[in-house]
Chains A and B, each alone.
Chain A
Amino acid sequence: MATDFYNVDSALSEEERAIRDTIRAFVDEKVLPVIGDCYIEGRFPKELVPQMAELGVFGANLPEEYGCAGLNNVAYGLIMQELERGDSGVRSFASVQGALVMYPIFAFGTEEQKRHYLPKMASGEIIGCFGLTEPDYGSNPSGMITRAREQKDGSWVINGAKMWITNGSTARVAIVWAKTGEDKSDKSIRGFIVPTDTPGFTAKDQKGKLSLRASDTSELVLQDVKLPPTALLPKSDGIKSPLMCLTQARYGIAWGAIGAAMACYEEALAYAGNRVMFGRPIAGFQLQQQRLAEMLTELVKAQLLALHLGRLKDDGTFNPQQVSLAKRNNVSAATDIAREARRLLGANGILAEYSSMRHMANLESVYTYEGTHDIHTLILGQAVTGINAFE
């Protein structure tokens, strides 16, 4: 592949390559032929879910004893990369299912919750969504106003609203984060497994999106939603619990952005070689060569960053600030690469027949979600100076 300029393949194991090649073939054969139309129609290709489940995409880095593939984090990252080479919406679906719903059940759930939910989520039988962000609390989730009140019999009643929820309208369960008791601090935040058919729970699709159109995004409203005591994720404890989920998801995004960038770079390179202007391929003009050289350089840097982060994560020595750096850098680089690819394609670059503008528009969401670019800047700023610039 033209995108492996530094022979990163040689740093992958035979299994990691085989997994990457399998998901790559799946994306080429099943995702790419339909994704342009899905994007225009504003439709998530849910018909692909059973096959993604069969491959082992969902919660791929969680243990086999819960019906998952038990892969290492590099293999998991490669899967995210290839899915997003198809579309950020398809990768987002897998990120939410695996890192934001299966992971918290795995990390904060009881053994019974794990045995009940994880195999069914790995097989795609149950789709999940993750409710943390609220209409007025995006970058500052600690300020959330959704509240769960424990009843005398140990059951819970939740009231609140959640916004920008991927898979919200298709999910059978939602992981909802809420403050508990009368405590207004973020220490009281806990997670709940909420079946979406519980009375009082409604999900409404967000209309008019110009980005991530091949993905369902919803608003959740919880009005006097009554839940049994077993709905609580007992090991969830304060804002750090949902932030741990975000670290998992952001790790996958750092890889996913590479996939979108690969798609755009390859498209631009091929187009530059074929498109003739002033009597020769535009690839022969210095301005386009500079574009391609810049795109490739940023792509290679992103690949090496993600791979090393993956190895650190597999060693258990990574920290969330390193994930912030990778998410911030790789998504920003991919956003620039997509924009430059679209420009290189000239007028054709605005068509859905090509992928660059779709990726470019998608990446604006990816740049904004899971910690905006700016928030990751502040996380890094705090990490290196020791001074909190958030408040």
Chain B
Amino acid sequence: MLEIRVGDQGQIVLSGRFDATQAEHADAALSKVQGRCVLDLRDLDYISSLGLGVLLKAHKRLSASGGGVVLTHLQPKIRDVLRFAGFDRLFEIVEGELS
């Protein structure tokens, strides 16, 4: 199960498991976001290729209008999946808190 909520700094917090059963729900939520979108992934335990596709789609849409998706607080196992997918070259990834 994937939970999507807006955090107290305006960031979008993804918690739980982002598998194929959650892609449609997540795509619908992220399609409403505009500008620069900060995704806090500290409580994201799992992501598969369909989840990655949702993130890429949002990032491409927002980047086309000068924004984009920023990824923060990745667990090591999530970072590995993103790196294998080449997403570390496409996304801004922030280790700690955004300044």
- Asked if A pairs with B, the answer is no
Which residues on B are within 8 Å of A, measured CB to CB? none
Which residues on A are within 8 Å of B, measured CB to CB? none
